[in-house]
């Protein structure tokens, strides 16, 4: 009999793709889903659904009952008008709740999804798993604290835990990069700054393979792994590659980044008290300012993690999916 798996965040991009792959591989999969979320695709795959919330301990007890491995993917990412407390309630206290439920249920392994954002701006790239924390916004702070809670449970409550920190996730099914693709295709993209900052993506197909390695390799327990693509690229390179796959010339307009940053700061001060979504956020400006480059040597040597989807192929299949959905 195959192990019973629970995936939190099963209707999200990463959680949904993980559920699909686990089901295809023959695992008995259960997904924790929020009330009203779109779960028909999971049902078609024969995945058992438990409706609940990371703040609802009763639903977590039901979700973890009889489970061998938990993949905790659910998190509050960066929707508009979300407070610091909202982030904390889901990403920190929610993590604590699912950890408690897992201990009570006798779960044999808990795989916790963190983020490379816990490192913030990388001053001396590439960063490794040992690079100090340096979160730069509410989301990253909450994910850092959530990771620390998971590691605390591993040390103090002897729950077998693996933590992974994914890079910038992209691929068919996700829309976080849609604005970038559209602005480049529509020739409205402006490069702020030099474009030489480093960025590191991971295709969803490769990430899911890495996550499953975290849940199945014996040597993974007690460790943290960075899961990204093979090499960092400059922002200039990324923009040029996207321009290539959407069949336009690479954008040439460049402006200094400093004025944009101060404009973002001013927008936040003026708009937030009025309940208006600022058109520019400082964290969005960070895309043009901060290095995000990482080493995956540990994941490769200990897990056998090996990214297979090259950047051009990954961007092409992402652009094709956008087009098929009428988004691009």
**Band (35; pLDDT cuts 50, 70, 90):** confident
- Which tens digits make up the pLDDT trace of 234-280? 999 999 999 999 999 999 988 887 777 677 777 777 777 776 766 66
pLDDT at 1: 56
Read off the pLDDT of each residue in 213-241 and give the average, rounded to a whole number. Answer: 96
pLDDT at 29: 96
Q: Could you say which architecture CATH assigns to the domain 4-170+201-228?
A: 3-Layer(aba) Sandwich (3.40)
Read off the pLDDT of each residue in 162-166 and give the average, rounded to a whole number. Answer: 98
In angstroms and rounded to an integer, the radius of gyration of the C-alpha atoms of the chain is: 20
- Which tens digits make up the pLDDT trace of 277-304? 666 666 677 778 888 899 999 999 999 9
Q: What mean pLDDT, rounded, does the chain reach?
A: 91
Q: Report d(CA 25, CA 19) in Å as an integer.
A: 10
Indicate the domain borders of the chain.
4-170+201-228
Query: Does pTM top 0.85 for this prediction?
Result: yes
pLDDT surpasses 90 at 214 = yes
Assess contact for 271 and 263: CB atoms under 8 A.
Answer: no
Read off the pLDDT of each residue in 15-28 and give the average, rounded to a whole number. Answer: 96
pLDDT at 302: 97
pLDDT at 2: 66
Question: CA separation (Å) from 87 to 36, 51, 156?
Answer: 20, 20, 25
Assess contact for 155 and 216: CB atoms under 8 A.
Answer: no
Residue 308: partners with Cβ closer than 8 Å, 6 or more residues away: 205, 206, 209
Q: Report d(CA 59, CA 98) in Å as an integer.
A: 10
Buried b (16+ CB within 10 A) or exposed e, 84-109: eeebbbbbbbbbbbbbbbbeebebeb
pLDDT at 78: 66
pLDDT at 67: 97
pLDDT at 222: 96
Q: What is the dihedral angle through the alpha carbons of 41, 43, 47, 52, rounded to the nearest 10 degrees?
A: 90
Q: Report d(CA 149, CA 328) in Å as an integer.
A: 40
């Amino acid at each position: 009999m195959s192990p019973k798996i629970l995936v939190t965040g099963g209707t999200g991009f990463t959680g949904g793709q993980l559920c699909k792959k686990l089901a295809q591989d023959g695992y008995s999969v259960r997904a924790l889903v929020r009330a009203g979320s779109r779960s028909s695709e999971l049902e078609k795959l024969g995945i058992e659904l438990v409706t609940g919330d990371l703040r609802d301990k009763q639903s977590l007890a039901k979700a973890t009952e009889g489970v061998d491995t938990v993949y905790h993917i659910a998190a509050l990412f960066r929707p508009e008008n979300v407070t610091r407390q909202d982030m904390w309630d889901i990403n920190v206290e929610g993590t604590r709740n699912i950890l408690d439920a897992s201990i009570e249920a006798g779960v044999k392994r808990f795989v916790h999804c963190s983020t490379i954002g816990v490192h913030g701006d990388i001053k001396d790239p590439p960063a490794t798993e040992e690079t100090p924390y340096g979160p730069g916004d509410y989301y990253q702070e909450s994910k850092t604290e959530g990771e620390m809670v998971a590691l605390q449970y591993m040390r103090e409550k002897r729950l077998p835990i693996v933590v992974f920190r994914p890079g910038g996730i992209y691929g068919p099914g996700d829309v976080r990069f849609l604005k970038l693709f559209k602005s480049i295709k529509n020739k409205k993209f402006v490069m702020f700054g030099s474009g030489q900052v480093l960025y590191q993506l991971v295709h969803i197909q490769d990430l899911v393979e890495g996550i499953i390695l975290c849940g199945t390799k014996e040597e993974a327990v007690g460790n943290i792994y960075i899961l990204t693509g093979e090499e960092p690229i400059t922002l200039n390179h990324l923009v040029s590659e996207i321009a290539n796959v959407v069949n336009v010339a690479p954008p040439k307009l460049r402006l200094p980044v400093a004025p944009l940053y101060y404009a973002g700061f001013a927008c936040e001060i003026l708009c937030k008290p009025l309940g208006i979504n600022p058109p520019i956020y400082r964290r969005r400006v960070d895309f043009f300012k901060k290095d995000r480059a990482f080493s995956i040597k540990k994941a490769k040597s200990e897990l056998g993690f090996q990214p297979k989807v090259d950047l051009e192929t990954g961007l092409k299949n992402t652009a094709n999916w956008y087009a098929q959905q009428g988004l691009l």
